[in-house]
Amino acid sequence: MNRFRNVAWSGAIVSLLAFVPAAIQAQEQGQAPQPVQASPVDFTQIVAEVSPTVVAIIAQRPQRERPMRGGAGDLPFGGAEPDAPPRTAAAQGSGFVISEEGHVVTNNHVIQEATEIEVLLADGSRVPAELIGTDPATDLAVLQVDDLTEGTSVASWGDSDALLPGAWTIAIGSPFGLGETVTVGVLSARSRDIRSGPYDEFLQTDASINQGNSGGPLFNAQGEVVGVNTAIFSPTGANVGIGFAVPSRLATLIVDQLIEDGEVRRGLLGVNLQQMTEVLAEALGLDDVQGVLVSQVVPDGPADDAGLQMGDIILQLGDQDIEMPRDLSLAVAELAPGTVAVLTILRGDEEMEVEVMIGELRPPETPDSPAEAPDDALPEGMRLGLALSPLPSAIRRELDLPGSSGAMVQDVVPGSPAQEAGIRRNDVIVEAGTQLVDGPGDISQAWSEAMAEDRPLLIRLLRGGASLFVALRP
């Protein structure tokens, strides 16, 4: 059930606290009264309206056999007779109806590997469901029920971007198999990255979310769906007041594609990015830390075709400012392949706009790691905390490097500038101070020049097939 440590995929009702309205306080202090946002006395009417849209999901999965204790007469480990039919176990989650055609939204992990899926409607009827499509990257799935009861309610999407921390949130689902369970809390934070996937930007709520709530809706105070309850953070596996929901802004994009095409197509730019830091900015001769640094351009990719280069700094995509690599990754992923996007970049001292036709993201191929360097290589460059050797020709051919370029990192001295910059053993250094490296001597010379001028040294290296910039400060 867990996709990462201490986060359980799917929870105490928050009491309404009495307070002195700000308008009364202002009058007592002789100030002009300020408008106060009205809060609901309770959520009875909202829950009555939206509860019929919420369903339970029952997924039959192959049961993984557990080894049995050994002993005379016991079956072999595996615990199943040779000709016995495969066993299944029921997993239960939540979902909600979003169309009169019977489309139901839930989590991918609720129905993953299911051999049979049923939906338990609010009126108690249990009907089979067809899987329309899934998106494991956002943990969303869409089902379809053909035999919807006449008059079944349909949920309405709300605007998750309009929801601010402190706003009321209402979770409805089937935790631990208990159907139609309502919990209430506030939005704790937005755009949470919990490192469960590449497109994390969860809403965080303290409305109770537990096992079985997965895939259920998170409503706002107007009864609109602003999120799909997906995960909790918990040391114990039970709710501790930190739950996460996929925001409706993202969920609607994914769900619409799944309904239309059965799959999700994401945009691709074709670059590797790094966060800009003060040290990198100084090494690049920049006064401000802004944008994200292009550390590698994928050959023949959209960025390469558009003329982007290593060392470019991307400032904007369209009108959106780019402050972190994740900003650009999320923005590009939401663009349809074939879209022409405008990037504002900084190249040297010149700011320019570049048009790029967005490609289509496909499952990445895992590059081979560089081979070990020869044991008899002689270490050089220890003044900056590195033991370097010439790059073996076999590795140079594998990395498609010209001539005799490159140097292999044999060792990194603990506490040295190289270790502080994040350089690792077996990294391949290809540039130092924007100059190509033909061997360890070039790196030593560039380091000496940086020390003499009291400035950081910009290094470009290759690690696992990817290009990376680091800055070493004397």
Per-residue CA distances from 158 to 3, 246, 249, 250, 373 (Å): 28, 13, 8, 12, 57
Radius of gyration from C-alpha coordinates of the chain: 28
Q: Are 439 and 407 in contact, with CB atoms under 8 Å apart?
A: yes
Tell how strand 340-347 and strand 320-321 pair up: unpaired
The Cα–Cα gap between 470 and 474 comes to 13
CA-CA-CA-CA dihedral for 124, 125, 130, 132, to nearest 10: -40
How far, in Å, CA of 145 to CA of 128, rounded? 7
CA angle, corner 99, sides to 94 and 102, nearest 5?
65
Q: Answer for the pair 3, 202: CB distance below 8 angstroms, yes or no.
A: no
| Pairing of β 350-357 and β 359-360 | unpaired
Strand-pairing partners, residue 468, are 461
What φ, ψ does residue 372 adopt, rounded to 5°?
A: -65, 145
271 DSSP assignment: E
Task: Decide: 295 and 467 in contact? Cβ < 8 Å.
Answer: yes
Structure tokens at 266: 């994401």
For residues 386 and 384, give the distance between their C-alpha atoms in angstroms, rounded to a whole number.
6
- Positive/negative CA dihedral, 28, 33, 34, 38: positive
- CA–CA separation, 274 and 260 (whole Å): 35
Which residues are known to be catalytic?
109, 139, 214
